[in-house]
Amino acid sequence: MSRENIEVLIKDLGEPRYRAGQLYSWIFQKFARSFDDMSNLPKSLRQRLIDEGYTIGRAQVGRMAESIDGTRKLSVRLDDGAAVETVLIPMGDRQFTQCLSSQVGCALDCKFCYTGKMGLSRNLSPGEIVDQVILAKRALPDDCRISHLVYMGMGEPLHNFDGVIQSIHQICHPDGLGYSHKRVTVSTSGLIPAIKKLGDTVPVNLAISLNASNDAVRDQIMPINKTYNLDKLMTALKAYPLPPRRKMTMEYVLLGGVNDEIEHAMELTRLLRGLRVRINLIPWNPFDGPEYKRPEEAKVRAFQRLLLDKGYTVTVRVTKGLDIDAACGQLGERPDDDFEPDKEALNE
């Protein structure tokens, strides 16, 4: 429920307005798991909420895996038994970037992505998205901070547009989790009509999974390109209401022998001309199945150098969490993923 929904609920129950703020803060700031925890609400109100069938925090943390590089992956078990994963990526001193899932699986079938192989089961509700943040905060030691949130986990966020927008409202509400929109990034494979709508609705950062410098390659690795090709994508990005001094991120998964040649880098510079972008190169993270290979280090550096020389800001994403299948494009259920609630991760 949004802050506004809770206000309506409290009003309908004939309670004073300030109770809405108390209830909201118990859920989003103190992370209460039950109405009984809400010690400053009258017992009669708590009981009515229970009697009327309201519940809190349905998702549970399953296994928490920790990589040798400090990356943590939480399996989150949802009410209906479905599972998604969320990843905490260490960003220096006790700070993490959290990668959020927006769907169970994904319908878009990008050939290099493990989640894409699963197909789509369903959208996550706004509560199930926000719950990933709350569960992660509870699982981390008190002196650790989640400084940035990126919608780069399982699913295509703009395919679950309403759920994602509502979750962003919750995450950024000053009485709730209180994140600045500047610390939130939504990544999309390029659902053009929804990109404009996103920009008109919330001032979050935008990342685009570009992954190719021409339509021939993009058609082959991302079926969405057959609907929204690069020409249409670039036109939409030029019209995007990017706030002053901000850049959008272009993610480019480097697939050895497919899109990692110097000619591709050249082509990319021409494609992106006129856009305010930073480029993030992601050497492909392997999983069983597709016949791709991770490019050689020298190839990655040469690709980056050419783009740098042309004046672009270019980073190479450091691969993290590879040993626990938590790196980009590796999220999804595996056959041996048994679910066992992790009491320690729950701090219970």
Position 116 contacts ligand SF4 (CB under 6 A): yes
Nearer to ligand SF4, 24 or 292 (CB): 292
Least Cβ distance, residue 248 to ligand SF4 (angstroms) = 16
Do the Cβ atoms of 1 and 52 come closer than 8 Å?
no
Nearer to ligand SAH, 140 or 224 (CB): 224
What's the angle, vertex CA 78, arms to CA 88 and CA 21, rounded to 5?
A: 80
- The three-class DSSP label of residue 255 is coil
DSSP state of 140: S
Active site annotation includes 85:
yes
Residues with Cβ < 8 Å from 140, sequence gap 6 or more?
Answer: 88, 96, 146
Least Cβ distance, residue 198 to ligand SAH (angstroms) = 12
Position 282 contacts ligand SF4 (CB under 6 A): no
Point out which residues bind ligand SAH (CB under 6 A). Answer: 106, 112-113, 152, 156, 187-189, 209, 211, 251, 253, 282, 284-285, 328-329
- Point out which span in 53-61, 68-76, 111-119, 316-324 binds ligand SF4 (CB under 6 A): 111-119
Q: Which of 15, 85, 156, 251 is catalytic?
A: 85
Q: How many angstroms separate the CA atoms of 211 and 67, rounded?
A: 27
Residues 167-196, interacting with ligand SF4 (CB under 6 A):
189
100 binds, among ligand SF4, ligand SAH, none (CB under 5 to 8 A by kind): none
- Point out which span in 13-21, 71-79, 105-113, 271-279 binds ligand SF4 (CB under 6 A): 105-113
Integer-rounded Cα Rg, in Å, for the chain is 21
What's the angle, vertex CA 131, arms to CA 117 and CA 158, rounded to 5?
A: 45
Position 108 contacts ligand SF4 (CB under 6 A): yes
DSSP state of 153: S
Q: How many angstroms separate the CA atoms of 37 and 26, rounded?
A: 8
Nearer to ligand SAH, 88 or 328 (CB): 328
Do the Cβ atoms of 115 and 229 come closer than 8 Å?
no
Nearer to ligand SAH, 175 or 337 (CB): 337
Do the Cβ atoms of 181 and 174 come closer than 8 Å?
no
Least Cβ distance, residue 96 to ligand SAH (angstroms) = 17
Position closest to ligand SF4 via CB: 116
Q: How many angstroms separate the CA atoms of 223 and 212, rounded?
A: 12
Least Cβ distance, residue 336 to ligand SF4 (angstroms) = 22
Residues 199-238, interacting with ligand SF4 (CB under 6 A):
209
Position 99 contacts ligand SF4 (CB under 6 A): no
Position 280 contacts ligand SF4 (CB under 6 A): no
Q: Which of 128, 251, 328, 333 is catalytic?
A: 328
Report in angstroms the alpha-carbon separations of 162 from 32, 46, 165, 166, 197. Answer: 25, 30, 5, 6, 11
Position 279 contacts ligand SF4 (CB under 6 A): no
Q: How many residues bind ligand SF4 (CB under 6 A)?
A: 11
Nearest to 128 by CA among 181, 96, 90, 86: 86
Least Cβ distance, residue 227 to ligand SAH (angstroms) = 15
Nearer to ligand SF4, 113 or 194 (CB): 113
Burial of 330 (0-12, 13-18, 19+ CB in 10 A): buried
Active site annotation includes 328:
yes
328 binds, among ligand SF4, ligand SAH, none (CB under 5 to 8 A by kind): ligand SAH
The DSSP H or E segment spanning 230 is: helix 230-238
DSSP state of 319: P
Residues identified as active-site: 85, 328
Residues at the site binding ligand SF4, with contacts judged by CB under 6 A: 106, 108-110, 113, 115-116, 155-156, 189, 209
